[in-house]
Amino acid sequence: MFSKAHRHLSCRILLPPANPAPLRPRSYAGVIGGLLLVLTQGCGLGDATQAGQLRADCADGTSSACLELGLSLYHGRQVFRDEASAVPFLEQACEADEWEGCSVLGRAHRDGRGVNEDLRRASDLFEEACGGGVSEACVALGLLWQEGRGYRRDEAQAVDLFEQACDEGHVEGCMEMALAFDEGRGRERDVLRAAAIYERACDE
């Protein structure tokens, strides 16, 4: 899963400066070492070792390692993107109250990425993550409830969730809250309140 063929390569070619300063002999070793370090940065070297260490730490019960490995696999950060393989690590992280793991796992169930689409499960996961302080999960849950996707429709509660996210500085939460007032969804229509919230979103 973490073979060289699967790693993203983004090596850079280094060009010498136009007017290089003279080097003292004793600095050659340091310069060569520095060049090798820079040349290997971004080439995927060491990613397999890091992933292996994260896997070992996760197996030993380090929930943050499970989260980091799950996020790397899900988003394709430094490793080949593999959403299905990410799910078990995200589940372990979520069970250990790593709330970002719950949020991303909720998105996976909502969008059917790496798992079968399951809006009820997505709602439950977003609710857990929102309660744990992940603002984007509050917005995602609010949108599900506003649209009646999953197992409930509650536009008023959706606005409460948008407001919670907005109060935590989440711009999308502010925008969805303003839109709700603008359209009269879950709240009595109030264009002045909507305008004030739109302005607040711009200031975030």
13-35: pLDDT as tens digits: 222 333 334 434 333 343 333 33
* Least confident span in 38-42, 58-62, 67-71, 100-104: 38-42
Q: For residue 148, what pLDDT is reported?
A: 92
Residue at 145 is within a domain: yes
143-157: pLDDT as tens digits: 999 999 877 899 999
145 lies in which domain range?
123-204
Q: Residue 202 — very low, low, confident or very high, per pLDDT cuts 50/70/90?
A: confident
For residue 12, being part of any structural domain is answered with no
Q: Is 112 helix (H, G, I), strand (E, B) or coil?
A: coil
How many folded domains does the chain comprise? 1
Write down the pLDDT at residue 151. 75
- Rounded mean pLDDT of the chain? 80
**pLDDT of 47:** 65
CATH code where residue 173 lies: 1.25.40.10
Contact 165, 140 (CB under 8 A): no
State residue 36's pLDDT score: 30
Note the pLDDT tens digit of each residue in 64-112.
999 999 999 999 988 889 999 999 999 999 999 999 999 999 999 999 9
Confidence (pLDDT) at 19: 39
Question: Is 23 a member of any domain?
Answer: no
Residue 196 falls inside a structural domain: yes
Cα separation, 87 vs 116, whole angstroms = 11
Q: Contacts for 105-111 with beta carbons within 8 Å, 24 or more apart? A: 106/137, 106/140, 106/141, 107/140, 108/74, 108/83, 110/140, 110/144
Give me the DSSP letters along 60-96: TT-HHHHHHHHHHHHHTSSS---HHHHHHHHHHHHHT
Quote helix, strand, coil % in the chain, to nearest 5: 65, 0, 35
In a domain? residue 7: no
Helix (H, G, I), strand (E, B) or coil at 25: helix
